[in-house]
Amino acid sequence: MNYPYVTEFRHSLVEWFNAEKRDLPWRHTTDPYKIWVSEVMLQQTRVDTVIPYYNRFMESFPTLDLLAEAPQDYLLKHWEGLGYYSRVRNLQAGAREVLENYGGVVPDNRHEISKLKGVGPYTAGAILSIAYNKPEHAVDGNVMRVLSRVLNINEDIAVPKTKKIFEAAVEELIDPTNASSFNQGLMELGALICTPTSPKCLLCPVREYCTAFNEGEPEKLPVKSKKMKMKHLSYNILVCQDEQGRFLMEQRPEEGLLAKLWQFPMIDTTSQITEESFLKECFINVQARHELLSFKHVFSHLTWHINSYYMKCKSSSTGDWFTQEQIEQLPMPVPMLKIWEEVKNNK
Ligand code: SF4
């Protein structure tokens, strides 16, 4: 890296962050466990969305021991609506590893912390720098955008190995005595000032040292090749209620998308199993049926097109039937919560 403004850049960034940082709940602590939870929640999720989840999570699991011991359904309930549920399962597995292998203390070096379940290079660096003030890189999309502009890096950020270039750049730039403020400053700058479109360069504390600003076209960076093609799936969702008022539910498989969450039965409209054959197999006799909601739910590379139906049924001995109170305790993905709200409103 041939960048002449290392000292000035560090100083301006750290000073700006300390003066302008947003007041966020996880910025009131240096407890590595709490920083870890916040960083995991913030992956792929907006800050505004995370705040109430983080506060509720900390009320229920204020220490790593309590998280490690939590029953999985209770834990998933705290994540309900945040998506990417493997994050919280890995978090719990990681907390258990800390208890078993490190006496309950989150490791303070990259070698050990990176062995924990779900802790990748970014999360490791974020915990080490924010909780322990260690000069370690923590490169996410915001950081890559800021540094691609400041240092004029033209490599495609959609290619995984490009990240290494940015990690090396942070290693050279990072302020060794203010690693926490430096890394958080880069992230904050990307979130508030150096945004993907229309960066607010005139408000930027590092404008003087920014190559893209000086060359006049910051929006051309970072270079990012096209996204993966979106896959579309279509489902009929059946909300079956028996004579006792109970609802038929099913648990998703142990692995994969939304693993182990609960849902109303989903019929893939392209599969061999039709609504009729499903009902027959479950010995469900439908007495009345009406349409509920039709909507689409978008995941990162997948869209579900959903039609949902309410069915009044004659009781069946097969399957998992739950009362309303029991359903309220089950962790469910967002599309199911939406349908469940509609069912309760229609009562
Ligand atoms: S000057 Fe503009 S492009 Fe450069 S870091 Fe600041 S906001 Fe980003």
Q: Give the mean pLDDT per block of 10 residues along the chain (347 residues).
A: 91 98 98 98 94 98 98 94 91 98 98 96 98 98 97 94 96 97 98 96 97 93 85 95 94 92 95 87 88 93 95 82 95 96 89
Report the b/e string of 205-233 with b at 16+ CB within 10 A. bbbebbbbbeeeebeebbebeeeeeeeee
Domain residues for the domain of 319 are: 229-344
- Tell me, what's the pLDDT at 104? 97
Q: Are residues 163 and 304 in the same domain?
A: no
CA–centroid distance, 200 to ligand 1, in Å, is 7
Minimal-distance CA residue to ligand 1 atom 1:
207
Q: Within a domain: residue 223?
A: no
Count of structural domains within the chain:
2
Query: Is 39 a known active-site residue?
Result: yes
224 assigned to some structural domain: no
Q: Do the domain assignments include residue 338?
A: yes
pLDDT at 67: 98
Ligand 1 neighbours, Cβ below 6 Å, are 146, 149-150, 193-194, 199, 201, 204, 206-207, 210, 212-213, 218
Q: Let me know if residue 97 belongs to a domain.
A: yes
Q: Tell me how far the alpha carbon of residue 119 is from its chain's centroid.
A: 13
Atom of ligand 1 nearest to the CA of 218: 3
Distance 176 CA to ligand 1 centre (A): 23
- Short-list 45, 99, 47, CA closest to 70: 99
For residue 347, what pLDDT is reported? 73
Q: Whose CA is nearest to atom 2 of ligand 1?
A: 201
Whether residue 55 sits in one domain with residue 27: yes
**What pLDDT does 150 receive?**
97
The residue type of 227 is K
Asked if residue 88 belongs to a domain, the reply is: yes
Position 102 scores a pLDDT of: 98
| Final residue in a domain of this structure, among 192, 218, 244 | 218
> What is the CA(201)–ligand 1 centre distance, in A?
5
pLDDT of 316 reads 64
pTM of the model: 0.80
- Indicate if 236 and 196 belong to the same structural domain: no
Asked which of 193, 218, 243 is the last residue of a domain, the reply is: 218
What is the pLDDT at residue 280?
86
Distance in Å from the first CA to the final CA of the chain: 65
The answer on 141 and 53 residing in a single domain is: yes
Q: Report the separation in Å between the CA atom of 133 and the middle of ligand 1, taken as the mean of its atom positions.
A: 25
* 246 within domain boundaries: yes
Gyration radius of the chain over CA positions: 24
What CATH number does the domain containing 315 carry?
A: 3.90.79.10
Cβ neighbourhood burial of 245 (10 Å; 0-12, 13-18, 19+): exposed
